[in-house]
Structure 1
């Protein structure tokens, strides 16, 4: 049986388009390089390591909720919730990825966001061979931002190396960066050395980029759906209050939030993090009677699959979490918000745990309705974003723990 990670992957064009802000990290790697990187990073998103991130998620969410409450008390009642979710998920990924270097992590987040926008702007301009080497305005800005990101990353890495050398620490840390650095040291001693500092920086950028934007969008769209469906909002709130008894959701309580999971699934179905999944065939592939020739680019239309009336029924374009109650869908085939197969999203368990904690804490502290200023205008690029944001009215609820 041919290993799928060797016969399909990302095209050269995709790699070039994202090389400045994710480089050769897991998202864009192919073949054995991808397999090696996935093997190194996987422990950071499994078992006890995954569970340990919940503390950061709860603390960051508490901080955001207090900020919202303070603003409500000062007279504000309308909020563009996407901005808050973006900041919150960036805070969480900064803490889980860089831990004690959290403040530098926040700086890296803002630089990477600017870098992403500059790269997107540059890609819209007419290019000719070799133009990426010209000292144009965009090329200069991209180079400067990339250098600043890498300078900050190197400062964090160097501080950990210094702690190891003077004996203040026996490892590089237990966060994602520490896991990668420890693996590099292990390989260096074993003589393999497949992972180096440049690749570690690319992995940090990849997980920062992929780890906050998609979850922020999931949270934003879910709040919009609950704000426009008050019946479901109340059902989820009742479930959260019953399961969590007015407190912060614990890890063993999260699986019991079945209605919330149904709502999250429906949000992911309607507004999947990736609207298409691009792949390239690196050799001839036979799928039944279908021959996929080497070099062919495949685009799996996730958005179309998720909105297919044939698969989901006549109400495919409507918000109906009940469709996930009896599980009449084929997960990994018809429902693929995090892709499927060997290249599925490595952080999907992290994202779902994060979304459940944040939404459970938000819905137990505030009720929310959609603002009349909200304009429903989903914009599809690779992700689905609300073009004009999501404006909601927030109303604090009485603290059920009192």
Structure 2
């Protein structure tokens, strides 16, 4: 890479640049921000800002023994995501970092495994199957709104909305994934959340080969949590199989788990069979990808609407006009254009995934660069979404109008769900869920940001508000 003019900070033996990154991030996030300010790239990716000033738009850094090239040139990013998806994917280090809580599900699969898993999973998020989830979303949201209403009646005015959104999206994914077994699904979700935090701790430290075998308390905790999650999943799977075997049911069910089990039955005769471990890994992946990111999208959007009352009023007027007091249906959603613009602007300012990583599995040409096998390319989504050259002088301001036209030039550099063949399979599910929840919330309540809210975004695998988002709710008359 040096021969091609790509340089970077000097790595240390074994640890690479991990310590430099950790110290820069610790320093930049040690204090809260003075006000609600969306200029957060320097806070969350300080190493990227410092190194791009020194080495340019592309530079190499080392995560332990793994070389990574940071790439911010949008034309090359587009080429990478659209053309080279078959020769790039998730690295061994990434798979190790997340194997305990999502295993080798679709998110971490590569090559033929990824191709087959994608074809099995994709139909669950398309057409009529996708529309069938809207009822679950409306019912779960009604329950949450009732609990908020009851709390307001009893005298509570301030709410940490992130907790409510997290519980709500967990309820929805439990219902769509496990339907009748959703109570067990909620237990699984709780355990996976604990596992994720443990795995996130490890991702900030050096991963030495063989360290996962050390009999440390950390490794023991992870192993016992993983075993408990898989025990609960196996109980659900086994009860479905028993029902089919004794003839009480003709299929494994219409939810996501049932669909996977039905596919496994179909594929038995073909070369690619889904095993039970893979089904459990897919279930865990749905939980992580379908719950966490949507909860954060909703939390940040509520924060933005609470601190921009004029946009809140515009969206409320649109929802009232389109839905006319009824719960939003699938047919209503395409007409909620202002709400769609607000959600996109929230995804631009606070994309749940701050970076997109892709490792090269063989040598290939990317623009003017020769990419050698084994090099990881890191696309800093957050930095691209906050790039003044692309989005203009108001790049760090909340301005949904920038998404008013679908053909707007900056929109081509908008990649919260990635792009190309490996884009997010649940993108339509997440957007439908976000629109239904926000439309129902905004038609029942007006809300402002609380004086107790402290703006302090941090990265724990995803971009989160460090202390949650406190808002003051006021019920609207029906």
8 Å CA contact retained: 1:122, 1:138: no
Instruction: Give the equivalent residue in structure 2 for 1:349.
Output: 428
| Offset of residue 318 of structure 1 | 0.2
Aligned partner of residue 27 in structure 1, secondary structure: helix
Instruction: Give the equivalent residue in structure 1 for 2:388.
Output: 309
Q: 1:127 to 1:18 in 2, by over 3 A?
A: closer
| Offset of residue 123 of structure 1 | 4.3
TM-score normalized by structure 2?
0.81
Alignment of 1:72-87 (within 5 A): 72-87=152-167
Provide the C-alpha distance between the structure 2 equivalents of 1:285 and 1:385, rounded to a whole number of angstroms: 35
Instruction: Give the equivalent residue in structure 2 for 1:339.
Output: 418
8 Å CA contact retained: 2:85, 2:420: no
Instruction: Give the equivalent residue in structure 1 for 2:339.
Output: 260
- 1:103 to 2:183 alignment: yes
Cα RMSD after superposing both structures: 1.6
TM-score normalized by structure 1?
0.96
Alpha-carbon displacement from aligned partner over 1:330-376 (angstroms, at most 9, x marks no partner) = 57740001000111000000000000000000000000000001111
| Offset of residue 31 of structure 1 | 0.3
Q: 1:131 to 1:289 in 2, by over 3 A?
A: closer
| Offset of residue 294 of structure 1 | 1.6
8 Å CA contact retained: 1:329, 1:335: no
- 1:48 to 2:157 alignment: no
- 1:208 to 2:287 alignment: yes
Provide the C-alpha distance between the structure 2 equivalents of 1:45 and 1:126, rounded to a whole number of angstroms: 37
- 1:397 to 2:464 alignment: no
Provide the C-alpha distance between the structure 1 equivalents of 2:279 and 2:421, rounded to a whole number of angstroms: 21
Instruction: Give the equivalent residue in structure 1 for 2:360.
Output: 281
Provide the C-alpha distance between the structure 2 equivalents of 1:122 and 1:251, rounded to a whole number of angstroms: 41
Aligned partner of residue 343 in structure 1, secondary structure: coil
Q: 1:263 to 1:191 in 2, by over 3 A?
A: closer
Of residues 344, 354, 362, the one that matches 2:441 is: 362
- 1:12 to 2:70 alignment: no
Provide the C-alpha distance between the structure 1 equivalents of 2:287 and 2:129, rounded to a whole number of angstroms: 17
* Corresponding pairs, count: 398
Of residues 8, 14, 29, the one that matches 2:109 is: 29
Structure 1 unpaired stretches of 5+ = none
After TM superposition, which residue ranges in structure 1, 4 or more long, deviate above 6 angstroms? none
Instruction: Give the equivalent residue in structure 1 for 2:461.
Output: 382
Provide the C-alpha distance between the structure 2 equivalents of 1:373 and 1:123, rounded to a whole number of angstroms: 31
Provide the C-alpha distance between the structure 1 equivalents of 2:270 and 2:427, rounded to a whole number of angstroms: 33
Of residues 195, 217, 228, the one that matches 2:296 is: 217
Provide the C-alpha distance between the structure 2 equivalents of 1:235 and 1:293, rounded to a whole number of angstroms: 51
Instruction: Give the equivalent residue in structure 1 for 2:258.
Output: 178
Provide the C-alpha distance between the structure 1 equivalents of 2:311 and 2:374, rounded to a whole number of angstroms: 47
Aligned partner of residue 252 in structure 1, secondary structure: helix
Aligned partner of residue 417 in structure 2, secondary structure: coil
| Offset of residue 129 of structure 1 | 3.6
Larger mean CA deviation between 41-50 and 118-127 belongs to 118-127
Aligned partner of residue 191 in structure 2, secondary structure: helix
- 1:248 to 2:327 alignment: yes
| Offset of residue 288 of structure 1 | 2.8
Alpha-carbon displacement from aligned partner over 1:91-148 (angstroms, at most 9, x marks no partner) = 0000000111110000000010011112223445566442211221111111111001
